């Protein structure tokens, strides 16, 4: 009877854990697309990029273009994601009330703007069929602000270029402008400005990428050994050629280490960060930003027994079929 109860308990835990394939937050009007079964993992937050040396639009940096466009058109702008303001109201509703005194028009805003032409994006970074994607929901030009002559950092002026649909559509004749390419690193251990809004089987980002490769959604190349890992071996692949074993002399005293062949078990917690190469575009016809991701790399972090030092290396490249 006791054995039967144990077996039933194990079955319940197993069934409860894995019957719930995906968990996600209650969706709203801009992240509802994550309900799709094709979306395996997602985080929501903010990311800042400098467009100082980016492609220009009509001889203007995209940062200046946003300010001047909002100044001369009826494009909606946002103080927050749930409230809309007209261009005439924007400087009366700044996050810091002092802005309404300092900035009375957009020319003043540009004068005190960020020298790096930084734009903060409200975004969702996610895996679709285990391939990394990024949805830029809204853009906010940043400006420097200070109190009593002391710099307090950067402040978002407003949100604009709102995009709440995925997948978005680009039609023939749209004026799409390539802006800049960025190498972006996401560290699983320090995602301060992001929150997880969907995950599959309770896996983190790198675990989900490995799991996707094991199911044939992608291929993983070990750049150090220069070969593609077979999908059947992905979940038991080892990054280490050998491991340090203690060695003892004939009297049983410790005499040092020798390097023994490593066991074929992959510790996926060693891959704690990824790098994606992003290209950011602006659709001037429809006033929204979007991102394409051309490549993805996994970093590994482990302890080198030979040097007694931690090692972080850019080790794996992931190739996606879609």
- 14-64, pLDDT tens digit by residue? 333 333 456 655 566 788 899 899 999 999 888 999 999 999 998 999 998
* Whether pLDDT at 180 is above 90: yes
The pair of three-digit structure tokens given for residue 212, joined into one six-digit string? 């996707």
Confidence of residue 259 (pLDDT cuts 50, 70, 90): low
Residue 19: predicted pLDDT: 34
Report the half-sphere exposure of 15 (CA within 13 A, side-chain side).
6
Question: How far is the C-alpha of 223 from the C-alpha of 117, rounded, in Å?
Answer: 36
Residue 95: predicted pLDDT: 36
Q: Which range (86-100, 187-201, 251-265) has the least confidence?
A: 86-100
Q: What is the pLDDT of residues 197-252, one digit of tens each?
A: 898 888 888 889 989 999 999 999 989 888 898 888 888 777 665 555 677 887 88
Of 177, 143, 131, the C-alpha closest to 288 is: 177
Residue 268: predicted pLDDT: 57
The predicted model scores a pTM of 0.76
* Whether pLDDT at 307 is above 70: yes
Cα separation of the two ends of the chain: 51
Non-local CB neighbours of 267 within 8 Å, separated by 6+ positions: none
Query: How is 172-238 classified by DSSP, letter by letter?
Result: TT--EEEEEEEEEEEEGGG-TTEEEEEEETT--HHHHHHHHHHTTSEEEEETTTTEEEPGGGGGG--
Question: How far is the C-alpha of 57 from the C-alpha of 279, rounded, in Å?
Answer: 16
* Whether pLDDT at 76 is above 50: yes
Q: What are phi and psi of 178, to 5 degrees?
A: -75, 130
Please check whether residue 293 is in contact with residue 132, taking contact to mean a CB–CB distance below 8 angstroms. Answer: yes
Residue 133: predicted pLDDT: 96
Q: What are phi and psi of 116, to 5 degrees?
A: -90, 0
Q: What is the pLDDT of residues 78-105, one digit of tens each?
A: 554 444 444 444 444 433 333 333 333 4
Residue 141: predicted pLDDT: 87
Q: What is the pLDDT of residues 136-154, one digit of tens each?
A: 998 988 887 666 666 667 7
Residue 147: predicted pLDDT: 61
Residue 77: predicted pLDDT: 64
Non-local CB neighbours of 149 within 8 Å, separated by 6+ positions: none
Report the half-sphere exposure of 200 (CA within 13 A, side-chain side).
22
| More confident position, 10 or 161 | 161
């Amino acid at each position: 009877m006791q054995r039967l109860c144990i077996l039933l308990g194990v079955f319940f835990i197993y069934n409860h854990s894995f019957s719930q394939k995906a968990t996600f937050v209650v969706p709203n009007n801009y992240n509802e697309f994550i309900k799709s079964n094709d979306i395996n993992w997602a985080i929501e937050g903010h990311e800042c990029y400098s467009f100082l040396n980016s492609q220009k639009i009509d001889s203007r940096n995209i940062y200046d273009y946003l300010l001047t466009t909002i100044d001369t058109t009826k494009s909606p702008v946002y103080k927050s994601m749930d409230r809309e303001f007209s261009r005439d109201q924007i400087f009366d509703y700044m996050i810091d009330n002092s802005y309404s005194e300092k900035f009375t028009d957009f020319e003043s805003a540009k004068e005190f703007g960020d020298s790096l032409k930084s734009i903060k994006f409200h975004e969702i970074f996610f895996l679709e069929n285990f391939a990394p994607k990024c949805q830029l929901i809204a853009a906010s030009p940043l400006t420097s602000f200070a109190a009593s002559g002391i710099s307090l950092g950067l402040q978002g002026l407003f949100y604009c270029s709102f995009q709440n649909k995925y997948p978005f559509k680009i039609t023939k004749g749209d004026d799409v402008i390539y802006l800049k390419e960025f190498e972006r690193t996401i560290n699983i251990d320090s995602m301060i400005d992001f929150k997880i809004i969907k995950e599959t089987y309770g896996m983190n980002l790198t675990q989900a990428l490995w799991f996707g490769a094991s199911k044939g959604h992608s291929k993983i190349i070990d750049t150090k050994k220069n070969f593609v890992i077979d999908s059947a071996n992905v979940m038991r692949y080892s990054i280490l050629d050998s491991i340090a074993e203690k060695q003892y002399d004939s009297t049983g005293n410790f005499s040092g280490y020798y390097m023994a062949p490593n066991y074929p078990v992959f510790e996926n917690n060693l891959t704690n960060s990824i790098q994606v190469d992003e290209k950011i575009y602006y659709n001037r016809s429809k006033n929204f930003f979007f991102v394409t991701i051309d490549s993805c790399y996994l970093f590994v972090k482990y302890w080198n027994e030979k040097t007694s030092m931690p090692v972080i290396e850019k080790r794996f490249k992931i190739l996606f079929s879609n």
